[in-house]
C-alpha cells in the first residue's frame, strides 16, 4: 500500500499510511514557512522527537482537538498533560508504539531538549516507522552518529525506504555531514528538512540533492512546503 508523505515546512510532516494519518513534530502557527495552520490538521497519531518549541508548539492544541494519541518522551508527556492533553503515550529510547498502519520505535538522537518553559524535556529522539510495508526513519534534530548503521538494518534484510534528515547546520547536521548519515543508513531515498525556516539555517537544497546524486548514495527528494510524494 502506498504511503503519502507531506512536508508542511521546517520539521513537520503528515504521513498517510492508508490506515490513518501520523503527524510528526507539529510546528505550524508560528512557523514562517508553514503551508497550513494547526486548526486545519487532521490526524490520528502524533509523534514528537524532542521538546524544543519548533517541534511541539502546536501539539497540545491539535491533540486536544483531534484526540490523537501523542507518543513522546516521558517528560514531554508530563508537560502536555499539565496542558490538558489526555491521550498520551510516554516513552523512551527503544520503545515501540502502535501507529496507524504499523509501528513506530523511538530511536536515539544527539541534540538538546528543553521545553518552552525552560524545564527539562527528556532525551531527544528519532523515530523508525514500519508502516504499510515501508520503513521510514525520521532522524529528528541530530548530528551524525555511528548507530545510524544499526538503524538502517532490519532483521529481514529490508533497507530503509526513506530517511528524513535535517540539513540546516548550526543546530543539526549540515549538508556535508548528512552525506555521511546517508552512507550509514543505506536508505533508498532521502528527504531533507529543518532548513530555510530562518536565515541562520538557509541552505541550497538543490545543491545538496546534486551532491547526493553525484556520490550515488540514494534518491534525493526535495519538496517545497506543502509538497507531497508517495512511497509506492
The domains of the chain are located at 3-225
From first to last of the 232 residues of the chain, give the pLDDT tens digit: 799 999 999 999 999 999 999 999 999 999 999 999 999 999 999 999 999 999 999 999 999 999 999 999 999 999 999 999 999 999 999 999 999 999 999 999 999 999 999 999 999 999 999 999 999 999 999 999 999 999 999 988 899 999 999 999 999 999 999 999 999 999 999 999 999 999 999 999 999 999 999 999 999 999 999 999 999 8
Torsion of CA 40, 46, 49, 51, to 10 degrees: 70
Q: Which fold has domain 3-225?
A: Metallo-beta-lactamase; Chain A (3.60.15)
Helix (H, G, I), strand (E, B) or coil at 61: helix
Tell me the DSSP string of 79-111: HHHHTT---EEEE-TT-EEEETTEEEEEEE--S
What is the model's pTM? 0.98
Amino acid at each position: 500500500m502506498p504511503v503519502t508523505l507531506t512536508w508542511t515546512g521546517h520539521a513537520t510532516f503528515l504521513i498517510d499510511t492508508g490506515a490513518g494519518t501520523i503527524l510528526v513534530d507539529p510546528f505550524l502557527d508560528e512557523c514562517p514557512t508553514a503551508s497550513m495552520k494547526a486548526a486545519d490538521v487532521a490526524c490520528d497519531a502524533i509523534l514528537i522527537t524532542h521538546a524544543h518549541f519548533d517541534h511541539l508548539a502546536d501539539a497540545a492544541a491539535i491533540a486536544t482537538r483531534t484526540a490523537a494519541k501523542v507518543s513522546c518522551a516521558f517528560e514531554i508527556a508530563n508537560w502536555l498533560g499539565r496542558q490538558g492533553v489526555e491521550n498520551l503515550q510516554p516513552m523512551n529510547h527503544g520503545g515501540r508504539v502502535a501507529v496507524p498502519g504499523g509501528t513506530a520505535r523511538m530511536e536515539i538522537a544527539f541534540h538538546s531538549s528543553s521545553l518552552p518553559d525552560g524545564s527539562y524535556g527528556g532525551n531527544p529522539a528519532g523515530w523508525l516507522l514500519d508502516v504499510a510495508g515501508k520503513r521510514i526513519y525520521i532522524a529528528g534534530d541530530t548530528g551524525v552518529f555511528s548507530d545510524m548503521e544499526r538503524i538502517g538494518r532490519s532483521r529481514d534484510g529490508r533497507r530503509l525506504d526513506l530517511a528524513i534528515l535535517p540539513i540546516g547546520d548550526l543546530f543539526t547536521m549540515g549538508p556535508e555531514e548528512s552525506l555521511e548519515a546517508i552512507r550509514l543508513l543505506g536508505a533508498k531515498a532521502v528527504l531533507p528538512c529543518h532548513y530555510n525556516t530562518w536565515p541562520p539555517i538557509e541552505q541550497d537544497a538543490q545543491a545538496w540533492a546534486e551532491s547526493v546524486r553525484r556520490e550515488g548514495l540514494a534518491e534525493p527528494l526535495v519538496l517545497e512546503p506543502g509538497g507531497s510524494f508517495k512511497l509506492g
